[in-house]
Chains A and B, each alone.
Chain A
């Protein structure tokens, strides 16, 4: 930790940074208003797939970057799960060195253009920004600036490829190509290891591709980041299911020295209420996969999707918002969120909820479905909901919803999307009976290095957390990469 502090201090005392700090008075900086993200028109965007957030213009980004005080003690960095040197990249922007800013991001973040779009910065870096903590002002728009620098680099066509160390000749495997796997693979490649990423689906990117919709994270943005990883020498194998196509043992025989399991929380939860298996009731994973990964809404593609006029999405997280906003875009007259707690307790990002409201999404808070009904063909046509009230806080710290007996009423629906969380995907744990898992079937790891009960197997992301965010998964991937690096280096030395 001290090493990092020293390093940050040394970086901060570089001449260009010192000069830049002196170029403006702190008062001038703190007197500026936070830049707001330009957005596509709500009434138009809810009928197409265009990206909602348009990104900051360069002149706005310059002003926003000058708000950052380049603090001696940059608390924002501690709020970042992948430890981006935030003041350094922001000051690069202020110096109009946008490509340099992107380079700084890539020192520790494999997917800056992704994180600039989907990270909950308001709960992380921006929550611990000096403006938020000490000045009680709106924080520097770190997320918007991250996206600005990353997009600038992507659009410039001059993508920098992070430096990789001299090849070690050590083979390592990454299982799953979602955010955890990609972050881990990127860092392992930087250490000079020979990295292969195995992906079960036909596309690289995991949840970034099948889950998060185009209007929030365009696939092309993800593909450019993946391209950078390929340029670093990482090999990707799609349609490859570890534990099925080949076993971990097979890979050991092929000379792989360590494994990172980032297989995600790919097992949707259902509520187990009557009628939940009627047609046109989907998990959010199914609905979003059909639309995002399989392109089902495009008539040129073979995969069908049913998306009706009265769509109810059960849940209050980001995935629920993605699903309900997708339904609206596919033509729903009524697209509603049904959530058992109030608006304040919704786990979705504030920005997602705001966007959803602008797009005419209806919110039925403090309601929960208890039963579904169907027509003679088994297609859902009605949903019985029950009103809830909030009681004492539960283990999550949020007030517990309590059903109000006798408050049930029926709502007409023709599509229901169940978005009440996910469980860890069982494929890897069931292929490794000796692997220690928790009661929730997540893989047990040492949080210091993400090592599992099997020494050459490391894990991170939702397979360990059971359903978290892109950035926490990436943080795990980085921690694991360091742990794996140490492990394989010692292992090879010992032989």
Chain B
């Protein structure tokens, strides 16, 4: 049982939760994720840790309301408890000094990108960060990102904030302007696919953090498997970060849709219970 200590609405659909989890707060590193089960009937869902406070014994998660589980979780209030939180899982990010790193975060993927940006900056890199979203109200963590980035660029699809255009446009502009040694991209699979194709054109080593479907998160089931460099890898134990240029994003997109019909149906049922 893990208590919710703090709740903040970044937007109508994107919510930050600070959760009591002292052991995880102590052992987690950038790149790690947790598996959460909201209640007895809940499913196990992976969520990347956005931040942690060891002294307070808390971890921070940023969740986008997309289906039953994310809604159940974000409908909880301060003082409520989550039945199961386990982790930290996955391999931590390699935070080496490489020179200039271009970090691109899409939508709620900005949250797990934050500790990586912070870590890369602390490792002595020049960090250029691009935050991208459909519109202004979906841009999150701007101030924190600004604090740890040498340069922060905001891109919105509709031009309601920052520059108008896709994340890839922003990335290309930077790459054409200066030498980039490495890139980190985190966001929806489709965004990571195109961000990865962009850096591939310029031969820039790129890391993507994959958010596949998982059940146990410990290597036991293989639901999260994805092809990387022609080989099947388990995101939960081999990842979640991989060489983005080797990831078969089309397969990953297909696998993410495995339960689309059931998810939609369950979501509609859930909305009815709220009405």
Q: Could you list which residues of chain A lie within 8 angstroms of chain B, going by C-beta atoms?
A: 200-202, 210, 238-241, 244-247, 266-268, 270, 272, 276-280, 282-283, 285-286, 289-290, 294-295, 300-304, 306, 377-378, 425-427
Contact = CB atoms under 8 A, between A and B. Distances in A.
Nearest to A269: B222
Contacts of A294: 43-44, 215
Interface of B: 23-24, 27, 37, 41-44, 68-69, 72, 83-89, 215-216, 218-223, 225-227, 232, 234, 237, 251, 254-255, 257-259, 262-263, 266
8 contacts: A201-B86, A202-B83, A266-B220, A300-B41, A303-B215, A378-B254, A427-B218, A427-B237
A202 B84 contact: yes
Contacts of B227: 277
A441 to B, nearest CB: 11
B263 A426 contact: no
B170 to A, nearest CB: 31
Closest 4 CB pairs of A and B: A378-B254, A239-B86, A286-B221, A266-B220
Given A239-B84, A289-B221, A304-B263, A245 B232 contact: no
A240 to B, nearest CB: 7
A202 B43 CA distance: 11
Contacts of A239: 84-86
B215 A245 contact: no
Given A244-B27, A245-B24, A302-B42, A200 B86 contact: yes
Contacts of B221: 268, 282-283, 285-286, 289
A279 B256 CA distance: 9
A97 B171 CA distance: 78
B219 A267 contact: yes
B257 A378 contact: yes
A493 to B, nearest CB: 32
A295 B24 CA distance: 27
Contact of B86 (A202, A246, A289): A202
A240 B86 contact: yes
Given A266-B218, A277-B226, A285-B220, A303 B43 contact: yes
A177 to B, nearest CB: 13
A272 B68 CA distance: 34
Contact of A302 (B68, B84, B225): B68
A425 B220 contact: yes
B44 A303 contact: yes
A195 to B, nearest CB: 20
A256 B174 CA distance: 53
Contact of B255 (A200, A279, A304, A426): A279
Given A201-B216, A245-B88, A246-B27, A283 B222 contact: yes
B232 A304 contact: no
Contacts of A241: 86-87, 89, 218
Contact of B87 (A238, A245, A270): A245
Nearest to B224: A286
Q: Which of B24, B37, B218 has the most CB of A within 10 A?
A: B218
Contacts of B86: 200-202, 239-241, 245
Contacts of B83: 202
Contact of A295 (B41, B87, B234, B251): B41
Nearest to B34: A239
Given A267-B219, A427-B237, A304 B84 contact: no
A300 B37 CA distance: 15
Contacts of A304: 43, 259, 262-263, 266
Contact of B43 (A201, A246, A277, A302): A302
Given A202-B84, A239-B84, A270-B222, A279 B257 contact: yes
Q: Which of A238, A267, A277, A425 has the most CB of B within 10 A?
A: A277
Contacts of B72: 302
Given A294-B43, A306-B262, 16 more contacts: A201-B216, A244-B89, A247-B27, A266-B218, A267-B219, A272-B232, A277-B232, A277-B251, A279-B255, A279-B257, A283-B221, A289-B215, A289-B216, A304-B43, A306-B259, A427-B218
Contacts of B254: 278-279, 377-378
A378 B225 CA distance: 14
Contacts of B258: 279-280, 306
Contacts of B23: 240, 245-246
Nearest to B89: A244
Nearest to B254: A378
B219 A426 contact: yes
A289 B44 CA distance: 11
Contacts of B259: 304, 306
Contacts of A278: 254
A377 B257 CA distance: 9
Nearest to B231: A272
Nearest to A425: B219
Q: Which of B68, B227, B254 has the most CB of A within 10 A?
A: B254
A408 B69 CA distance: 43
Contacts of A282: 221-223
A429 to B, nearest CB: 11
Contacts of A301: 41, 43
A294 B217 CA distance: 14
Nearest to B225: A277
A285 B217 CA distance: 12
A301 B43 CA distance: 8
A1 B115 CA distance: 59
Contact of A427 (B219, B222, B266): B219
Nearest to A201: B216
A449 B87 CA distance: 31
